Amino acid sequence: MIFKERIRNSSTKEGIPLAPSMGPTLESLYLPKELPAFGIRSVYISLISILLGIAGGIIAQILTRLIGLITNLSFYGRWSTEFSSPAGNHLGLWVIFVPIAGAIIVGFMARYGSKGIRGHGIPEAMEHVLLNESKIPPRLTFLKPLSAAISIGTGGPFGAEGPIIATGGALGSLIGQLLKTNSDERKTLLAAGAAAGMTATFGSPVSAILIAVELLLFEFRPQSLIPVALACVSATSVRLLFVGYHPIFELTGLIQAGGFALAAYLILGAIIGVASVFVTRAVYAVEDSFEKLPIHWMWWPAIGAVAVGIVGYFAPKTMGVGYDNIENILSGNLFGEALIILFVLKFISWVISLGSGTSGGTLAPLFTIGGGLGAFLGSIIISLFPSIGLDVRIAALVGMAAMFAGSARALLTSIIFAFETTMAPLGLLPLLAGCSASYLISSLMMKNTIMTEKIVRRGVRVPNEYHADYLSKVLIRDCATYDVVKLNGNDTIEQIRKWMSEGSRNSSHHGFPVVNEEEKPIGVVTRREILSPKHSTEKSIKEITIGPAVLAFEDNTISEAADLMAEYEITRLPIVNRKNTNKIVAVLSRSDILKARKKRIDETRRFQRSLNTSKKI
């Protein structure tokens, strides 16, 4: 007996796969799993992340002291781990050769240790997340910080935060590989370690969470967000034990921004956005130039270090991490010609060195360049419009954050980072205006970012937008076919073949749900199995049914249904009501899912056509 139920007027869909029989049916039902947003496994990962945050905080202190030791040995000939700037050295022309010596060592480490130490860390971590299931080679956990300490300690114009972030991420990945974790959990641990490193460096836990979301996790879920947040909290605790609690770039006595000043900060941010595009393209133009050199890449860092040494001879403040430069720019102690020389020469030194493929970071140099440019533009605006109420220190702060927002496309990270490292609430509104303008201009002018250009060139597709899947917002009841043809499992193959030969429209489907006498679903049978000559015509339909019964509810989403169909390798899914799982009320086919997706595409195209029509008018 064939059961037919017409609940709504709807066209019949096709799409059941032509799969071999799985033998006698199983009476159990397989329904969509409703997994908790945060389960016991997530608690386990969170506990590991707390320990990882502590380790990241300690690593940050060790690496900072290692950089200090190498700096003191290289420029002052003394044994001290105190974090100091190379700017006060008295080496004269010999200062040119210090960065070259360090770069040669880094080149040898890259060639004979691991090529992965080259670059500024975050793009490489992104690549491992996207392509390698968040598995970073264990040796990078040791080689990256050591090579970065040598590069920075011998005068490389990089910040310590990049290598610390990369090291924390590598440690998180290593722990994930040692323990039994899946790729999502390893990604969370990698991001937790990286965020802990940034927190331990700058004391900026919230912006560290955001940079993990915007550049590493590519998602916003409790399972990943909470472990990262806890890692940042524990890393902050370690930092408090070593250096106490105070903003790394403290600003006080700022001027409240009025309406005209906010407009000026917005324009300043837009100009910085253009500059961020130029800076990004310059980095990769230099990198392309090095690629054309007829010598092995292990010598490129030494060639780049020649520029670092020469620039450092004339402007010693361009060497090393330069956190003191950022502090002086933000406090207004640098101005005029000295300010221009600093950020211009810092840019030249950094872009050549980074493009050579040495080991270093991007954050501190970008902050120095952006802050210097922001302060310079701010001073020009003040001289032209003295009554506008613009504060040159806020202009420097906006420039610093807007440069990172434009070059890295990390809008929220940039704004919150500038606030956390200065604790200047009066700067929040100008930061929002300037960073948003920079982000907008960068998005219009540049397809990739300073973080993604390198890996995009290698063929990696990097997500640049985070939004809920359209199919996760569409319910099955809005797309399913409610014209259901069900086969009685006790009917024989001969009966069903005869019915199909009569040419009924409802008999042309590629697959049918099979039910028992009480109409309880027991599985699905394909048209090919019914017509297969290998089966005796005396067999009942339930004997060749593909089971067990895989079902979904009307109020499940299309995305959940697609997952269920993929898991059980079916393309026709019976649908039941939550109040009665024993009765099939609809069927969802592969074409129904495609129809839902096409609806979204059609809506977008209609809107685009309406815009084009409006332009013509």
| Average confidence (pLDDT) over 175-192 | 88
Same domain, 199 and 50: yes
CATH number of the domain enclosing 424? 1.10.3080.10
Question: Angle, nearest 10°, between helix axes 300-314 and 97-112?
Answer: 160
Sign of CA dihedral 491, 494, 498, 501: positive
Q: Tell me: pLDDT of 602 over 70.
A: yes
Cα dihedral 17, 19, 24, 28, rounded to 10, equals: -40
Lowest mean pLDDT among 58-62, 240-244, 339-343, 565-569: 565-569
Query: Percent helix, strand, coil in the chain (nearest 5)?
Result: 65, 10, 30
Same domain, 49 and 190: yes
Same domain, 105 and 142: yes
Q: What is the domain count for the chain? A: 3
Phi first, then psi: give them for residue 134, nearest 5 degrees.
60, 25
Question: Does 192 map to a domain?
Answer: yes
Same domain, 23 and 48: no
Question: Does 211 map to a domain?
Answer: yes
| Average confidence (pLDDT) over 148-163 | 84
CA distance 315 to 87: 8
Same domain, 184 and 118: yes
Q: What is the pLDDT of residues 451-490, one digit of tens each?
A: 888 778 777 777 666 666 777 788 888 888 887 778 888 8
Can you give the pLDDT at residue 166? Answer: 82
CATH number of the domain enclosing 526? 3.10.580.10
Can you give the pLDDT at residue 23? Answer: 31
Lowest mean pLDDT among 277-281, 318-322, 605-609: 605-609
Q: What is the pLDDT of residues 479-530, one digit of tens each?
A: 888 877 788 888 888 888 888 887 666 666 677 788 887 777 777 777 777 8
Q: Tell me: pLDDT of 432 over 90.
A: yes
- Residue 99: closest CA among 142, 146, 144, 158: 158
Same domain, 89 and 187: yes
Same domain, 347 and 415: yes
Same domain, 8 and 45: no
Question: Does 254 map to a domain?
Answer: no
Give the distance from CA 298 to its chain's centroid.
30
8 A C-beta contact, residue 354 and residue 120: yes
Q: Which of 114-118, 155-159, 271-275, 378-382 has the highest mean pLDDT?
A: 271-275
Q: Tell me: pLDDT of 209 over 60.
A: yes
CA distance 560 to 242: 48
Same domain, 285 and 345: yes
CA distance 601 to 362: 39
Question: Does 614 map to a domain?
Answer: no
| Host domain of residue 489 | 2-31+470-598
Question: Does 610 map to a domain?
Answer: no
CA distance 215 to 450: 11
Out of 457, 479, 495, a domain closes at: 457
Out of 243, 269, 300, a domain closes at: 243
Q: What is the pLDDT of residues 322-337, one digit of tens each?
A: 888 888 888 888 777 7
As a whole number, the mean pLDDT across the chain is 82
- Residue 249: closest CA among 322, 196, 351: 322
- Residue 272: closest CA among 372, 346, 374, 364: 374
Question: Does 616 map to a domain?
Answer: no
Lowest mean pLDDT among 4-13, 379-388, 462-471: 4-13
Question: Does 541 map to a domain?
Answer: yes
Same domain, 452 and 355: yes
Lowest mean pLDDT among 32-36, 128-132, 362-366, 563-567: 32-36
Token pair recorded at residue 134: 């968040």
8 A C-beta contact, residue 584 and residue 483: no
Same domain, 263 and 407: yes
Helix (H, G, I), strand (E, B) or coil at 588: strand
Between 488 and 416, name the one with better pLDDT. Answer: 416
Can you give the pLDDT at residue 19? Answer: 33
Q: Tell me: pLDDT of 229 over 90.
A: yes
Can you give the pLDDT at residue 570? Answer: 75
Question: Does 615 map to a domain?
Answer: no
Q: Which residues contact 465 (CB under 8 A, 6 or more apart)?
A: none
Same domain, 391 and 523: no
Q: Which of 63-77, 126-140, 359-373, 548-562 has the highest mean pLDDT?
A: 63-77
Q: What is the pLDDT of residues 232-266, one digit of tens each?
A: 999 999 999 988 878 888 888 888 888 899 999 99
Token pair recorded at residue 3: 């059961």
pTM over 0.85? The answer is no
Out of 412, 432, 457, a domain closes at: 457
Q: Tell me: pLDDT of 3 over 50.
A: no
Residue 569 pLDDT level (bands cut at 50, 70, 90): confident
